[in-house]
Amino acid sequence: MFDTIVARSNEIADDLIAVRRDLHQHPELGWEEFRTTSIVVQRLRELGYIVRVGKEVCEESARMGVPPAEELESAYQRALQEGAPEELLEAMKGGFTGAVGILENGDGPVVGMRFDIDALPLAETTDPEHFPNREGFQSVHANTMHACGHDCHTSIGLGVAQLMMEMRDQWSGTLKLVFQPAEEGVRGAKSIVAHGHLDDVTVMLGSHVTASNQCNEFDIYAGAGGSLATTKLDVTYTGLASHAAGAPEKGRNVMPAVATAILNLYALPRNSQGETRVNVGVVHAGSGRNIIANNATMLVEIRGANTQINAYMEEYARRILEDAGHMHGVECEITKTGEAISLESSPELMERIDRVAEQVEVRPASPNRLISPGSEDYSFMMDRVQSNGGQASFIRILVDSPTAGHTVTFSPNEDAMVRGVRMFVGTALDVMALR
Amino acid sequence: MFDTIVARSNEIADDLIAVRRDLHQHPELGWEEFRTTSIVVQRLRELGYIVRVGKEVCEESARMGVPPAEELESAYQRALQEGAPEELLEAMKGGFTGAVGILENGDGPVVGMRFDIDALPLAETTDPEHFPNREGFQSVHANTMHACGHDCHTSIGLGVAQLMMEMRDQWSGTLKLVFQPAEEGVRGAKSIVAHGHLDDVTVMLGSHVTASNQCNEFDIYAGAGGSLATTKLDVTYTGLASHAAGAPEKGRNVMPAVATAILNLYALPRNSQGETRVNVGVVHAGSGRNIIANNATMLVEIRGANTQINAYMEEYARRILEDAGHMHGVECEITKTGEAISLESSPELMERIDRVAEQVEVRPASPNRLISPGSEDYSFMMDRVQSNGGQASFIRILVDSPTAGHTVTFSPNEDAMVRGVRMFVGTALDVMALR
Amino acid sequence: MFDTIVARSNEIADDLIAVRRDLHQHPELGWEEFRTTSIVVQRLRELGYIVRVGKEVCEESARMGVPPAEELESAYQRALQEGAPEELLEAMKGGFTGAVGILENGDGPVVGMRFDIDALPLAETTDPEHFPNREGFQSVHANTMHACGHDCHTSIGLGVAQLMMEMRDQWSGTLKLVFQPAEEGVRGAKSIVAHGHLDDVTVMLGSHVTASNQCNEFDIYAGAGGSLATTKLDVTYTGLASHAAGAPEKGRNVMPAVATAILNLYALPRNSQGETRVNVGVVHAGSGRNIIANNATMLVEIRGANTQINAYMEEYARRILEDAGHMHGVECEITKTGEAISLESSPELMERIDRVAEQVEVRPASPNRLISPGSEDYSFMMDRVQSNGGQASFIRILVDSPTAGHTVTFSPNEDAMVRGVRMFVGTALDVMALR
Amino acid sequence: MFDTIVARSNEIADDLIAVRRDLHQHPELGWEEFRTTSIVVQRLRELGYIVRVGKEVCEESARMGVPPAEELESAYQRALQEGAPEELLEAMKGGFTGAVGILENGDGPVVGMRFDIDALPLAETTDPEHFPNREGFQSVHANTMHACGHDCHTSIGLGVAQLMMEMRDQWSGTLKLVFQPAEEGVRGAKSIVAHGHLDDVTVMLGSHVTASNQCNEFDIYAGAGGSLATTKLDVTYTGLASHAAGAPEKGRNVMPAVATAILNLYALPRNSQGETRVNVGVVHAGSGRNIIANNATMLVEIRGANTQINAYMEEYARRILEDAGHMHGVECEITKTGEAISLESSPELMERIDRVAEQVEVRPASPNRLISPGSEDYSFMMDRVQSNGGQASFIRILVDSPTAGHTVTFSPNEDAMVRGVRMFVGTALDVMALR
């Protein structure tokens, strides 16, 4: 069984690369993965999966950080022009991207897998030495780039779909392949969980490529921990403009509100119960030098070692934001545009993954758990499964890249995808094998 | 008539000095002028005035910035020990100091005069060259000093009382001599007005000594303007202490509340309608280096060119103070401890004062109105009289002093008091003379 | 003589409107007035004026707030496409716009006049009731609008040029017509003064249209005062980006620097010597929610009742800006992009203007001086003339507009231009008339 | 051997209590432990120890946070009055308190022990139920209290001195008993290390009583870790006073400097390398409501998981403090008044302590290392010994107290001292035993 996995994964290596490069060339931002989703749906249907699409994927009211209607429409039209079939696109109108492929294959465990599919708002480097530039598959979408490897994740997902279908006589149970939109900004996972897709899953797998200088020694970490719960807040202040020399007292000035918010947010108390973070990443305020500024937007994020700490931080931050506005007669509107909880891989599942790795010629790292202070909304999926008594893990696939994720020169080695496919298929079969 | 005033004022010059030096040696803070008031009351009664004392002077509920009971009691005991008669003191218990002397002398105008009697919380200089030190009448009360000349004002008031009584056959009308407590911190005048003492006054006179390098040229300004409306606020923040390393998140920290309040108060908008001022003069916060601070007090004042601007500033300042606390879970208590409105001397009365000055050998300045950005709660008395159709002015008596008022080396030339007496008596007689 | 002025100004009224509408339709921002300048230069030459252009107008090193080269180039190309003659444009390359027309007409006084020609970065309203929309001469340049009436000023200037030439046998002396670029942001005047054009002027006139509800009563104010000295500062902070969760301590964060600067700038002390203003009108900072922000730009302005107060404010503001950056390891770059001093019209000249107004059927307001807290860099021209012993005034031409200047619905009544022409020509002739 | 320890420690229990109560009744602040030191010195000499006193204990230049001379003198006089022998006190003049007792007892290891002796500036509760009140040994020194258990530590130290001397034929080596002054505020240890007392120590023991609800299960933790490196900074701002209404611009205001410092200190970046803390515990600023404040003092502390993080924080904090002053023309003076590094008990020594505990009837906790975020300058002693290749530990002695240390109702159960004596003597004998 494991030998077959090794052999077949090698054989589909070129397909994995081809799919990945097509996606890399046509990156789409969160909730705008129209073309990407249509490719996934087509392939899953070809393979014989039952496929959930459109409003069957994400619970509408639980989606966060959905772009404005015009932006969605413009991305939709682009997908149409790039050849995505209108009959597939239709269900996604208004940002209902993502898909769930289901294969009911007899009694047994329900194994879930998460593959995230969205790109980042970055302009890919024009450096001719950048691998996609050398090979001619660089992004053709302005200011959009697969700089976090989700193109690889999606391609891995489709490879996994193929092998699981091919080997369906060797396992019994149910397989759910979740192609998640809008992971960037931690906006999409919660709405998939809210729809109930994870409710019957007993073993959950997700992964992420990670640039590492340990690639010579290890291929994967079986699990992860230490990630931070997080909340993303978009803040809008609305005041009243007036001439800064003629009648400064007639305005309601957002500037001191913004400044008070920034300083007090960073000054949120350290926490004896665990790590915290806070950041005001972007501020745009005001319309002219001699006008008392009447508008501001701020992109804020907070994090905590666990959900409770994060909730403490969020509540405090909201009070600061509102009061900083109120003291200057300025209205404050706060929108939650993203959210993740902390995650901790299940120890037994990590041990299983380590065992499988040895079988499928993948080198597991030791200790087998990568601690990192980032955030991932896949945590909601893990939490749902673990809360129901199931097991879940978040595998880190080490890659060799000149720079880290979220940079414009990020470029993972493509052969890592083969190892990703092996780990998903190998672990799933280890769980569901007919023995 | 004016000749008599000049002659008699010269004859009582030594008495004026004696009274002033006794008061200078025994300065009393606002609402604690027990000994001072008893001297005033005794003298007024000797002269034959009807005298209002105790709760007949200041409306109890309108008094501001009254010191704590223990402090009042301790000042009271000191006055007793220094020989103030207990039968006089009794009515003043609890800080009901000040007195109003009334002389009803036939039909005619009602002329009011204000003399303020309190001292400042300053330690008089020990410099042997300081005039009171040289002459041996320096303050014997620790950290208390007549550094604003109210000792002179009180002495002038008693001199005026004597001459007006002596010359009562030359005028007809009613005279009201208001000896006001707690002018420092602008705490007392409003409660005297609230009691109704000014309601029937048709001409109101007040004065203040002012250190000036124009003494060689002028003796007085007939009036004043440009003073700022003001509000004094005492602010208390109450949070929750916790160990700064062990559990910073368990505290409710007053420090960022204090800091946010300070910066935002100073950042209150400039006003196109007139001058504004704001100051956080004193801050005390916290109890130990490694404790999240749970208490703070701040002494704040705001000012505006007129009552409306000051009200705008006060409302805004209160919102800042409250919201700065609220955002950190910190309770905020704000007490108004002083208040004044702006003042503007009546032009016709200023002209009359100028004319009188020439008659009583006092040199009036030209232009006759001193503009200054300070604040005075005598403004409430002026406002009441002017609102009722009467006239009011605030005479500035120029004095020669090595340093300005509110310094520990302030020392006016004592002969200025003679000129003060002349101006009050001369103007009153000019108004009420039997012709 | 004055009759001729009234008659001729009425006869050219349609020309004034035509020129103004053409300019209104083709507004150009400061230092980009390529088409506008070429129209002015052509007309002045037709009329027989000696015309200074290109680097002969503004001293290169004293120009402030010149846009980036690409922006200048793009505006230049637009002017070419709109038909401005290349031989005229050439001298203006790199933003050397503006012109000075000179008529040496015998011995006598040197009279200078200032007409400003630039527009504002505003998108004109699309409201069909807006007068330019009704009449079809609305701006065809995106986000650019003559919302401050400089189209009228320029048209008045050309009308004045025509009448002064026509009537040249009635006066003797020298006339200098300064068509100033980049008044908005107070960027241009100083460089014209630096070039020496004002050095020999003995009487200087400038004007500005002012929306007023007094139009039924008055047509002009003969002079102005109370304007504030001002400095415009562009501030750039450069820090170091890092991941806000992964390594916040590795970044150098511009956000707390920006916030500290904002609060402390607004908290600059009030000044007992006169009015002050400060504004942070625009802030853009940061590149992503989860990135420690490494860049920020702020548009700041400060003002003071006079040059000394403004200098105090500027020095203090620069220290705040630099130290707020330095404390966070953030580099601060400050560029002065505009500057004006305060202005005060010469009393004798205002009286002359009032007398002239009566002669040319224009109603002068009384008192004749408009106090306003704005800023104008024409003040540099006035100051140069007044410092040399000459006289200068700044005439306010009252107009009827639905909204004030600097709004997208500003629309002055066009017949006011006739009165503007009369005042310039009338006053100049009154000064230089052959009697 | 261990049986003897158990037996003898029980027999001296009443002595331990008597000594502790006498110290509790006469608490002395850091560098003022004149009476306490004289008791220690007398007892050590009686027992036969060589005793270092005065300038032989702490390196003069390395002492931090020494109180002003008058305060030292006043404490000195109090000690004299309370019967401390002048011949002993003399060497301590100027705050040279503390003592080192040495017993050279043949070849072998050098074992060091640290006992801290100072009290806290707290007013002990007057609650009649408070144990010291019930038993009549409450503090007789105003605002001074042994609220951190150093009275117990000192008493334990003297008990240990007695038993080690009694049992000197059972061990071989050198014993150094360090009675450290000024542990509160982490001011004293560094100067003892600087004097060289720890240079030859191979095994170092210290302890601290810790209020715990685990007293029913455990008596001690063998070691400690997680303590934070810390720096204590006293900050003084000096500006220039001026009248807040009359001439605010003439002052140099410390208030916005203080506020800017507070907010930016709390806003110091979180650190991905480990815990950080920052606190502004106390602020006193200004002298009068209507005066631009010209003076402020702030008590600041920073902490970091290790020396490097703490150094990063200190450097950043100093920059903030200085620049916040500089931007307002305010001078900033920063004095380091305390310092500690992080500590980590040596694993082998902790194992030894656990083994000993079992032998002397003390229950060790498991895991045997207490993590806590406080700071201790005993860390300098541990570091010196560990850097030289020796072993060091910091034993936590669990006590039952109604409230935690540093509260006015702290009251440990006195029988815990017996267990403290056992652990010190037991471990020392285990290290140095003649076998």
ipTM confidence? 0.87
Model pLDDT, residue C296: 98
Model pLDDT, residue A362: 96
Nearest-Cα residue of chain C relative to residue A281? C289
Residue A46 has pLDDT above 90, yes or no: yes
Residue C435 has pLDDT above 80, yes or no: no
Chain A residues with CB-CB distance to D317 below 8 A? none
Residue B210 has pLDDT above 90, yes or no: yes
Q: Do C262 and A266 touch (CB under 8 A)?
A: no
pLDDT in tens, B50-104: 999 999 999 999 999 999 999 999 999 999 999 999 999 999 999 999 999 999 9
pLDDT in tens, B115-140: 999 999 999 999 999 999 999 999 99
Model pLDDT, residue A428: 97
Asked if residues C304 and C271 have their Cβ atoms less than 8 Å apart, the reply is yes
The alpha-carbon gap from B299 to the nearest alpha carbon of chain D, in Å, equals 5
Question: Quick one: average pLDDT of D197-224?
Answer: 95
Nearest-Cα residue of chain A relative to residue D303? A270
Band of pLDDT at residue A213, cut at 50, 70 and 90: confident
Model pLDDT, residue A115: 98
Residue A128 has pLDDT above 90, yes or no: yes
Question: Quick one: average pLDDT of B415-429?
Answer: 97
pLDDT in tens, B9-48: 999 999 999 999 999 999 999 999 999 999 999 999 999 9
Interface test with D, best of B279, B303, B320, B342 (most D CBs within 10 A): B279
Chain C residues with CB-CB distance to A339 below 8 A? none
Q: Calculate what percentage of chain A has a pLDDT beyond 90.
A: 94
DSSP run (H or E) holding D369: strand D369-371
Q: Where do we find the tokens 């043949």?
A: D106
Q: Do B270 and C275 touch (CB under 8 A)?
A: yes
Please list, in sequence order, all residues whose beta carbon lies within 8 angstroms of the beta carbon of residue B401, skipping any fewer than 6 positions away: B211, B410, B411, B412, B413
Chain D neighbours (≥3 Cβ pairs under 8 A) are A, B, C
User: Side by side, which strands form the sheet with D50-52?
Assistant: D50-52, D99-105, D173-180, D110-116, D203-211, D391-399, D220-221
Model pLDDT, residue C372: 82
Question: Quick one: average pLDDT of C303-327?
Answer: 97
Model pLDDT, residue B213: 87
Model pLDDT, residue B19: 98
Asked if residues C219 and C75 have their Cβ atoms less than 8 Å apart, the reply is no
What is the SS3 assignment for D76? Answer: helix
Of B150, B401, B275, C313, the C-alpha closest to D246 is B275
Chain C residues with CB-CB distance to D263 below 8 A? 260
DSSP run (H or E) holding C297: strand C295-304
Model pLDDT, residue A226: 85
Model pLDDT, residue A371: 87
Residue A434 has pLDDT above 90, yes or no: no
What is the SS3 assignment for A246? Answer: coil
Model pLDDT, residue B355: 97
CA gap B198, D102 in Å, rounded: 84
Radius of gyration of chain D (CA): 23
Q: Considering chain B, what is the average pLDDT of its residues?
A: 96
SS (H, E, C) A345-382: CCHHHHHHHHHHHHHCCCCECCCCEEECCCCCCHHHHH
Residue D357 has pLDDT above 90, yes or no: yes
Asked if residues C319 and D326 have their Cβ atoms less than 8 Å apart, the reply is yes
Model pLDDT, residue D337: 95
Chain C residues with CB-CB distance to A185 below 8 A? 289
pLDDT in tens, B310-349: 999 999 999 999 999 999 999 999 999 999 999 999 999 9
Chain B residues with CB-CB distance to C272 below 8 A? 373
CA gap B290, B246 in Å, rounded: 9
Q: Do D281 and B258 touch (CB under 8 A)?
A: no
pLDDT in tens, C342-355: 999 999 999 999 99
Q: Do A245 and C303 touch (CB under 8 A)?
A: yes
Q: Calculate what percentage of chain D has a pLDDT beyond 70.
A: 100
Interface test with B, best of D183, D290, D376 (most B CBs within 10 A): D290
Q: Residue D66 carries which side chain, given as an amino acid letter?
A: V
Q: Do C270 and B275 touch (CB under 8 A)?
A: yes
What is the SS3 assignment for C282? Answer: strand
Of A382, A418, A383, the C-alpha closest to A220 is A418
Question: Quick one: average pLDDT of A4-23?
Answer: 97
- Nearest residue, CB atoms, C282 vs list A256, A287, A299: A287
pLDDT in tens, C54-88: 999 999 999 999 999 999 999 999 999 999 999 99
The alpha-carbon gap from D260 to the nearest alpha carbon of chain A, in Å, equals 9
Is the N-terminal amide bond of A367 cis, ω within 30° of 0?
Answer: yes
Please list, in sequence order, all residues whose beta carbon lies within 8 angstroms of the beta carbon of residue C331, skipping any fewer than 6 positions away: C237, C238, C239, C325
Interface test with A, best of D227, D230, D270, D310 (most A CBs within 10 A): D270
pLDDT in tens, A353-395: 999 999 999 999 988 899 887 899 999 999 999 999 999 999 9
- Nearest residue, CB atoms, B272 vs list A249, A263, A328: A249
Residue D329 has pLDDT above 90, yes or no: yes
Residue B435 has pLDDT above 80, yes or no: no
What is the SS3 assignment for D146? Answer: coil
Q: Do D262 and B266 touch (CB under 8 A)?
A: no
| A 353-392 residues with CB < 8 A to D | 373
Nearest-Cα residue of chain B relative to residue A263? B260
Question: Quick one: average pLDDT of C194-198?
Answer: 97
The answer to which of B333-337, C386-390, D368-372 has the lowest mean pLDDT is D368-372
Of B401, B394, B389, B399, the C-alpha closest to B423 is B394
Model pLDDT, residue D373: 79
Question: Quick one: average pLDDT of A71-91?
Answer: 96
pLDDT in tens, A293-307: 999 999 999 999 999
Residue B256 phi, psi dihedral angles, 5° rounding: -65, -25
Interface test with A, best of B242, B258, B323, B326 (most A CBs within 10 A): B323
Residue D410 has pLDDT above 80, yes or no: yes
Question: Quick one: average pLDDT of B387-408?
Answer: 94
